[in-house]
């Protein structure tokens, strides 16, 4: 309990400031919406705020304070930043609500510059390519695996800037990836329900493979943790690593499994498929 209440473990740093500003913009944007509040909109808001809270818990709480002494605490950060916060934020459909509080004479020129301005055309073109399903999967999976290579992982524990860069890449590539698993997160889903099942299953297998490698390793993989003379709870370095592997294997799999079960149900349920075809026919 003293750990949770210690002010030093709840630092007032820039991630917390960014989360608070984002939450206020989202709240004000919802109040300015021209459409009435519905149960679906309220649940989207709950998901978005839960995503923001999860970010704070990952990078601005005792979890972060212990990340350089406990591998499993560091793994909790990674799971939250890649498998928990991004899907929750995307379910909240934040883009219109976050921009709505801006003055109209700021919002319109900014939207034109970002969406159609010639200066940003190369960046938009590159982002469209990277945001396609296959590049997004490759970026997400390779980022997960690459940062768990011992040399890079140990570097994040020695250098705060590298550590922040690691987390930024985890989060940004996860946003690109989860867009394709959550059909409501984009106006024009690029994957069918069956393709989403395959897409998500492939990513799940990558994380499982990494968890198996870490969990079955005969010795600690990371020198920075192995060199510690003492770890909270009296864990050995190998026990700590095996718990971290369990964090990735079990809690890290839950968001995948929930989304995959929903996608598989829609894909395999004939009534649901027929209803979707009927809706598309009416819309056309």
Question: What's the pTM value of the predicted model, to 2 decimals?
Answer: 0.86
Residue 249 is encoded by which pair of tokens? Answer: 């294997």
Exposure string (b/e) for 140-164, b if CB count within 10 Å is 16 or more? bbebbeebbeeeebbebbeeeeebe
Give 152-199 pLDDT, tens digit per residue: 999 999 998 999 999 999 999 999 999 999 876 665 677 888 999 999
Residue 253 is encoded by which pair of tokens? Answer: 């799999």
Contact 65, 20 (CB under 8 A): no
Judged against a pLDDT cut of 80, whether residue 283 lies above it is answered with: no
Contact 92, 26 (CB under 8 A): yes
How many Å separate Cα 119 from the centre of its chain? 29
The CA-to-CA distance between both ends of the chain, in Å, stands at: 59
Give 208-262 pLDDT, tens digit per residue: 999 999 999 999 999 999 999 888 888 999 999 999 999 999 999 999 999 999 9
pLDDT-derived band at 269, boundaries 50, 70, 90: confident
**Position with higher pLDDT, 206 vs 116:** 206
What pLDDT is attached to residue 191?
Answer: 87
Q: What DSSP character marks residue 70?
A: -
Q: Cβ neighbours of residue 54 under 8 Å, at least 6 residues apart?
A: 80, 84, 85, 88
Give 116-161 pLDDT, tens digit per residue: 777 777 887 888 888 899 999 999 999 999 999 999 999 999 998 9
Rounded to the nearest integer, the mean pLDDT of the chain is: 86
pLDDT-derived band at 281, boundaries 50, 70, 90: very low
Residue 124 is encoded by which pair of tokens? Answer: 């938009």
Q: Cβ neighbours of residue 244 under 8 Å, at least 6 residues apart?
A: 71, 72, 74, 75, 214
User: H helices within 180-233, ranges in order?
Assistant: 193-216, 223-226
Give 16-55 pLDDT, tens digit per residue: 889 999 999 999 888 887 677 788 889 999 999 999 999 9
What pLDDT is attached to residue 5?
Answer: 43
pLDDT-derived band at 273, boundaries 50, 70, 90: low
Judged against a pLDDT cut of 70, whether residue 4 lies above it is answered with: no
Sign of CA dihedral 59, 65, 69, 73: negative
């Amino acid at each position: 309990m003293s750990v949770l209440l210690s002010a030093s473990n709840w630092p007032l740093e820039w991630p917390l400031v960014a989360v608070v500003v984002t939450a206020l913009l989202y709240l004000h944007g919802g109040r300015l919406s021209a459409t009435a509040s519905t149960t679906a909109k309220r649940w989207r808001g709950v998901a978005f705020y839960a995503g923001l809270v999860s970010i704070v818990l990952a990078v601005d709480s005792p979890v972060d304070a212990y990340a350089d002494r406990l591998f499993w605490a560091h793994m909790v950060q990674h799971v939250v930043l890649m498998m928990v916060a991004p899907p929750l934020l995307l379910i909240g459909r934040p883009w219109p609500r976050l921009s709505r509080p801006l003055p109209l004479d700021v919002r319109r020129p900014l939207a034109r510059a970002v969406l159609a301005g010639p200066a940003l055309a190369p960046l938009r073109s590159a982002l469209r390519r990277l945001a396609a399903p296959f590049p997004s999967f490759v970026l997400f999976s390779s980022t997960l695996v690459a940062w768990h290579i011992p040399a890079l992982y140990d570097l994040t524990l020695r250098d705060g800037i590298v550590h922040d860069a690691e987390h930024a890449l985890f989060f940004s590539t996860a946003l690109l990836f989860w867009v394709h698993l959550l059909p409501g997160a984009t106006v024009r889903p690029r994957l069918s329900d069956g393709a989403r099942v395959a897409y998500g299953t492939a990513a799940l297998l990558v994380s499982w493979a990494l968890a198996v490698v870490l969990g079955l390793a005969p010795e600690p993989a990371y020198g920075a943790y192995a060199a510690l003379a003492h770890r909270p709870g009296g864990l050995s370095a190998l026990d700590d690593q095996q718990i971290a592997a369990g964090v990735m294997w079990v809690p890290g799999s839950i968001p995948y499994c929930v989304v995959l079960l929903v996608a598989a149900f829609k894909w395999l349920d004939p009534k649901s498929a027929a209803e979707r075809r009927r809706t598309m026919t009416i819309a056309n």
